[in-house]
A = this chain, B = another copy of it.
Amino acid sequence: MNRLNEITATEVVKKIKTEQVTAEAVMRDCLDRIAEREATIKAWAYLNREQALKAAVEIDRGEKSTPLAGLPVGIKDVLDTSDMPTEMGSPIYNEWQPKVDAACVGVMRAAGAIIMGKTVTCEFAGSYPGPTANPANPEHTPGGSSSGSAAAVADRMVHVAFGTQTGGSVLRPASFCGIFGYKPTYNVINRSGLLFASENLDTIGLMARSVDDIDLVSSVLLNRPVVPPAKEIAHPRIGLVKTHLWPEASSETRFAVEDSARKLSNAGAEIIDIRMPETFEDHTRIRNLLNDFERSRVLSWHSRNHREKMSDKILQQVDNGLTIPWDEYHSALLRAEDGRAMMDTIFKPLDFILTPAASGEAPKTLRDTGDARLQGYWTILHVPTMTVPTHTGPNELPVGIQLVCPRWQDNRLISWCKWVSKILIN
């Protein structure tokens, strides 16, 4: 039998509710796994064994009628927690203790979930990495900026974790670590208590080892029913989007996408090659511009008072952001809005889009979290996206694919991810 840290969130919740297992037993297995592996993986920015166990024992003493009773959850360390420090991946916030829970944290607690600890984030959810290693091979990056959340879930230290995505910070680490990573439609999960990077892009997302787990947690956050299980037989029209970045993607990424298309076609899908508007080739530039302009405001106090505690990388973004004239920023916002409107047309003949998740396997370095362009391309469009862990590359490291649906069609995305997972994973 699997240890309780290894089963899915959906199973954990069911077993606790029907009193087959205690929340304490689940938590002990998670903590034991962490004790074994944390020295190598370094996924946690804050974790207090006694505090986590105490919370589990309290759940066991209570009613367990809440929808997530006893489920351990990891929280990216840019989201405020009322009972744990929140350090934003920056020494400026060393041991900083917020007053209240971020909205998503509070809602999870109200649903009976146990906030287990805080997971390592890149500095200010940017690109300057923390210490976390990839569980599949600790010499490789787990991706970023939700590094700790991806590594902890992939390494079976915790069942579900929150991430945030401004460029590719949920999808890329999920793809690198071999788990599901979900970036909802922009702004679907309430962002109160999140330190912003770029407010017009920042989206709170989820990482888990099954699409059902992502569905379950989303249903609680949004007060909606879970999405019905995937159909056995379906004939979706899948838009295959290679983007202008295709030639730069590794052979393992290109294989993962084409092999998935082939298998889904064999299962009944119609694969339609889609050429995206040429203007979208500008997404990387526009996204960086929005990011720098907005970060320079968010980090105005920090960069004036604590320059010595900030990485050169983020200081460059802040300093650049301060030089951008309003007109240029405003044009970028409008370009992004135009792109969003175009997506509705592009999606008309399609059920969903299949596209690369990341440029390849996780690079062999802990000093760089990889290339965000293949995720940022979609983030700026505010569409919901999910990476599904379908393949393995030449170094035995995970390679995911990315599925995309129109804005607000998160349920449709989850539904098709269930179908795709059945065909490509099980």
- Enumerate chain A interface residues (CB-CB to B < 8 A): 82, 92-93, 96, 99-101, 103-107, 109-110, 187, 190-193, 195-196, 199-200, 222-224, 294, 297-302, 304-305, 322, 324-327, 329-330, 333-334, 408
**CB-defined A-B contacts under 8 Å, sample of 14:** A100-B302, A101-B300, A103-B297, A103-B300, A106-B300, A106-B301, A107-B300, A190-B298, A192-B199, A193-B298, A223-B324, A223-B325, A333-B408, A334-B408
Main SS of the interface on chain A? helix
Q: Which of B191, B195, B304, B333 contacts A106 (CB under 8 A)?
A: B304
In whole angstroms, what is the CA distance A299 to B300 when docked? 27
Copies of this protein, total: 2
Closest CB in chain B relative to A7 CB, distance in Å:
27
Asked if A192 contacts B297 (CB within 8 A), the reply is yes
Give every chain B residue within 8 A of A199 (Cβ-Cβ).
Answer: 187, 190-192
Beyond A192-B195, A199-B187, is A297–B106 a contact (Cβ under 8 Å)?
A: yes
Partner of A297, one of B107, B109, B304, B305: B107
Find A105's partner among B193, B301, B302, B408 (CB 8 Å cutoff). B301
Q: Is the beta-carbon distance between B195 and A297 smaller than 8 angstroms? A: no
Let me know if A330 and B297 touch, CB within 8 A: no
Q: Output the nearest chain B residue to A102 by Cβ-Cβ distance.
A: B301
Chain B residues with CB under 8 Å of A305's CB are 82
Residue of B whose beta carbon sits closest to that of A193: B298
Please name the residue on chain B nearest to A323 by beta carbon. Answer: B223
- How long is the Cα–Cα vector from A296 to B96 in the complex, in angstroms? 25
Is A196's CB under 8 angstroms from B191's CB? yes
Q: Which of chain B's residues have a CB closer than 8 A to the CB of A302?
A: 100, 106
B82 adjacent to A301 (CB under 8 Å)? yes
CB atoms of B106 and A326 under 8 A apart: no
8 smallest A-B Cβ distances: which pairs?
A: A106-B300, A224-B326, A106-B301, A101-B301, A190-B297, A103-B297, A192-B298, A192-B196
Which residues on B sit within 8 Å (CB–CB) of A196? Answer: 103, 190-192
Are the C-beta atoms of B99 and A96 separated by less than 8 Å? yes
Nearest chain B CB to A129's CB is how many angstroms away? 22
- Nearest CB in chain B to that of A325: its residue: B223
